[in-house]
Amino acid sequence: MIRFIGIAAGAFFALSVLWAFVTGAYSAATEPAPETAEHAFHKHPKELHLASDGPFGTWNLEQLQRGYQVYKEVCSACHSLKFVAMRDLEQLGYSEAEVKAEAASWTVPGIDPNTGETTTRPGEPTDYFPSPYPNNVAAAAANNNAIPPDLSLMTKARHDGSAYVYSLLTGFQQQPTELLKKFPSAKTPEGLHYNPYFANLNLAMAPPLTMDGQVTYADGTKATIDQMAQDVSAFLTWTAEPTMPKRKQTGWPVLGFLLFATILAYMAKQQIWSNVKPAKNKQDD
């Protein structure tokens, strides 16, 4: 009797799961999902063409230096680069003396050798770029309860990363009236900012690039909002993968070697089996 009850309960459970699956699949196939504001108004990133794009791409060092300047003067107020060492700036074309001077312009956490207490000191080339906040609690308190993400790997962490960063920086705008008419409940909450390139359309970060000339470039390039956004996107592409040109340069010889080895192996196989005749099928008389 107990065995019968167990079998009946198992069969009932299996049939319930099967029924739920069938009805759910039928509903998904016949009833379209309700449209949401995020689905209707979210935009894919704009096109962004950088010197590092493509199989033969390389770095535009002048643009990377401009992007670093934008990061230092604008983005570093909220975002860290905890995986990038200051000595890596030599890869951007800075001399050793310039890297030391640049590192010294940053303030990093340190320890007083006399008292052992935490303090601050000028940065050194071996230091990593510091966080603007002592901890996540302080970061959230200063940014409408949102913790600014580290930007070291941002262009690797997002689809179309370089274009995503560029689009996000240039995409802040007022909510379209069409959105508010169609989705009245989707009004941007107080303290957030509308940006159609962000997944849920609203983010805590205020527009960081607010006017042309916000940064004065040393090479005389006109610092429009669009130019600054492109430059810092290129810089963050470098921070995410500084060895990318070497990877591409190494990839072509490797592909060439593999192609040569494949051809050589095929020719060797043809040579080895050239004197072997295929066996003939014997047929009964």
Residue 93: both structure tokens together? 């074309």
Tell whether residue 86 is among the known ligand binding residues.
Answer: no
Residue 146: both structure tokens together? 């949102």
Pairwise CA distance, residues 245 & 57, whole Å: 7
CB 194 within 8 A of CB 201: yes
- Cα radius of gyration rounded to whole Å, the chain: 29
DSSP letter at 148 equals P
Tell whether residue 78 is among the known ligand binding residues.
Answer: yes
Category of 191 on φ-ψ map: left (φ > 0), alpha (ψ -120 to 50) or beta: left
Tell whether residue 39 is among the known ligand binding residues.
Answer: no
Residue 186: both structure tokens together? 């989707």
Pairwise CA distance, residues 69 & 65, whole Å: 6
Binding site: what residues are annotated? 75, 78-79, 205
Binding site for heme c: what residues are annotated? 75, 78-79, 205
